Amino acid sequence: MNQPPGVELLLAPNPSLMTGSGTNTFLVADHAAGCVAIDPGPDEDGHIARIIAAAEPHGGLRAILITHGHPDHLEGAASLRERSRAPILAFSREGSPTADATLADEQLVIVGTRRLRALHTPGHRFDHLCFLLEDSRALFAGDLVAGEGTVVIAPPEGDLLDYMASLRRLQALDLALILPAHGPLIDAPAVLLHDYLTHRELREEQILAELAQGPHTVDALVTPIYAEVDPRLHPLAAQSVTAHLLKLEREGRATHDESTPPVWRLSGRGAPA
């Protein structure tokens, strides 16, 4: 599916295991009324130059929007600001130290006659924003979802309880299109969001089933749950399992001791009857 009118995708040259084919930088324009860039990506001269060139027919860049402060989204922002004079806008300077101003949840960014609504959607990271292009019901989703595969939730920056709440918030928006920061566009948002939530719920059931057999370390949980996954990816799987365990702990369903590594067990509402 193509981008909405006035939206241009510029793929950054930073492919990797974590970024897929690279970071998607998006321009949102209203004819010659200027445009904004969402996630300028890495500090790579050629990519920054392409953003500047793509913005020129629309009257230049008016703002640089950051979905969250991970380097593959933020790193090029300062260079792009220097060359365009456009301010950097993000949820917080704690998450994005180079930001010139911060955006609150539900705050509007005006691009000519178009409106982008900032949505605070923590989970992948505490400072995560999505941007809803209201006239197209199109969501620039950052790393809340991906065009391919799933998203890593890595504590302490990532929080699975918040992440699940953010996914459910998006379910209520009647989206027509999701434009993620990595991978292809998503033309069936309701299906993808349902699948993302179901995937996390099934993983949680697996963890609870293992803990019902007795206390486990994180590594001892990863081994059976991710038995069919390449062992080279098990460190990432361990981050995901840890995120699930911390969610269960916040809900009063699991607890851990102070050993090294910690041993996790069911407690309270998580314990079998």
Three-class DSSP labels, 196-247: HHHHHHHHHHHHHHHHHCCCECHHHHHHHHCCCCCHHHHHHHHHHHHHHHHH
Cα atoms found within 13 Å of the Cα of residue 146, Cβ hemisphere only: 16
CATH architecture of 7-187: 4-Layer Sandwich (3.60)
Structure token digits, residue 129: 């924003």
Question: What per-residue confidence (pLDDT) applies to 271?
Answer: 61
Section 128-140 average pLDDT: 98
Question: What per-residue confidence (pLDDT) applies to 270?
Answer: 61
pLDDT at 176 over 70: yes
Instruction: Provide the 3-class DSSP secondary structure of residue 271.
Output: coil
Q: What is the pTM of this model?
A: 0.94
Question: What per-residue confidence (pLDDT) applies to 273?
Answer: 46
Question: What per-residue confidence (pLDDT) applies to 20?
Answer: 86
Q: How confident is the model at residue 17 (pLDDT cuts 50, 70, 90)?
A: confident
Say which residues have a Cβ less than 8 Å from residue 272's Cβ, sequence separation at least 6. 212, 266
Instruction: Provide the 3-class DSSP secondary structure of residue 87.
Output: coil
The average confidence (pLDDT) of the chain is 95
Instruction: Provide the 3-class DSSP secondary structure of residue 118.
Output: strand
Q: How confident is the model at residue 1 (pLDDT cuts 50, 70, 90)?
A: low
* Residues 99 and 89 sit within 8 Å (Cβ to Cβ): yes
Domain boundaries for CATH 3.60.15.10 within the chain: 7-187
Instruction: Provide the 3-class DSSP secondary structure of residue 149.
Output: coil
Q: Kindly list the catalytic residues.
A: 72
pLDDT at 249 over 50: yes
Backbone angles phi, psi at 212, to 5 degrees: -65, -20
- 198-270: CATH topology: Arc Repressor Mutant, subunit A (1.10.10)
Q: How confident is the model at residue 217 (pLDDT cuts 50, 70, 90)?
A: very high
pLDDT at 202 over 80: yes
Domain boundaries for CATH 1.10.10.10 within the chain: 198-270
Strands (E) in 98-219, as ranges, are: 101-102, 108-111, 114-120, 129-133, 138-142, 177-180
